[in-house]
Amino acid sequence: MRTLWHAEVGAGFYLPRHRPLLRDRTVTVRAGGTVAAVDAVTGDARWAVDLHHPSDDGRWFLPTPRGLVTDVAHVEDGLTEVVGVEDGYAAWHRVLPVLDATSCAVVEGERLLVTGATPTGHALLLALDAGAGAGASAGAPDVATLPLPWLPLGLVTLGPGRLLAMHRFGAATPGLFEVDVATGRCTARADDDVWPLEASGDAVATVCAAAGGGHVLRVLDPVGLEARWSAPVSADCAALAGDVVVAGRGGPGDGGARVVAFAVRTGEVVWEAPVGDGPVFDVSGAAGVVVVTTGAGVVVLDARDGQVLDTGARACAPPHVGDGAVHLLRDDGLVAAAVP
């Protein structure tokens, strides 16, 4: 890959490291208790802030409509902070009723939706205004709460007013359910124990544990969550890349690692590409490209035919792919490389 720039931000950061985020021409990286930002075009450092907290290893970030980075804490006090992308200062913070290690969040429109729980353990969906009316001048936004039937382990947006929630705390509860964000009600469910999860307006892609070992890729219809097709895979990761969904197969002792692209609508194998000896740890899809993280490094594939476009050094976190570039967090810093 052709390197666009290399910034030393992130070098020497403590684990865990999280996928870089791109928002308003700014790339933010998170590792340990530190967040740093660089200019997405030049790689020039903008700021770095220390967000040490008793449990900050469990926190992650989301871009909001104001170009902010939202940090939702997996901690008992439920601290939620919004950090400004331009300067790194906290715009506001709130303490929310979340359960330790179970809170999750997603940005939907101009709202930040966070899961929480009452003192008796009943699940809640908490909605905060993350749009133009929120910020330092307005103070922390008010919180609207809705009851949920179950406490999710993860959230993704399915469309306007629709969320998909992952959940599995017992055989009587669904592995996946759709939430109406206006009411908190479950409008559809699927009983597979899924992880991870990707969704678009055309499909929902999930990876489930197979009964006899290994994993199964399942693609569901976004309306009703009815299964379209399934296929055996080796890695617990999948990504949507236009008209295909990609997943990993093979590894050491199994003919080497491969990435397989399936047609989203039919499950037909469109192409299969070898990506080295090591296992597939992560796949990321974007317009025209698939970025694969393996034990040996990063491989960039053409999403149309699986042709290897380039290879790169090992990454410390899943990459961000978008706007014609891939952003990789490595031990020696943050690298931006051009993708075709």
The Cα 309–Cα 282 span in angstroms is 17
Give per-residue pLDDT as tens, 84-124: 777 887 777 777 777 655 678 888 887 888 888 887 878 88
Q: Sheet with 194-199: list strands edge to edge.
A: 194-199, 204-209, 215-220, 227-233
Which regions in the chain score pLDDT beneath 70? 11-17, 32-33, 51-60, 65-68, 70-79, 99-102, 131-140, 168-173, 193, 195, 252-254, 287
Contact present, 237 and 294 (Cβ < 8 Å): no
pTM for the full predicted model:
0.82
Give per-residue pLDDT as tens, 6-34: 998 876 655 556 788 888 788 888 776 67
Q: Beta strands 123-129 and 227-233: pairing type?
A: unpaired
Quick one: pLDDT at residue 218? Answer: 93
Cis peptide upstream of residue 16 (ω within 30 degrees of 0): yes
Q: Which of 109, 115, 204 is nearest to 155 (CA)?
A: 115
Q: For residue 196, give the 3-state DSSP assignment.
A: strand
Distances (CA, A) of 72 to 60, 132, 244: 6, 19, 32
What does CATH list as the number for 66-147?
Answer: 2.40.10.480
Say which residue the tokens 């490291």 belong to. 17
- The residues spanned by each domain of the chain are 66-147
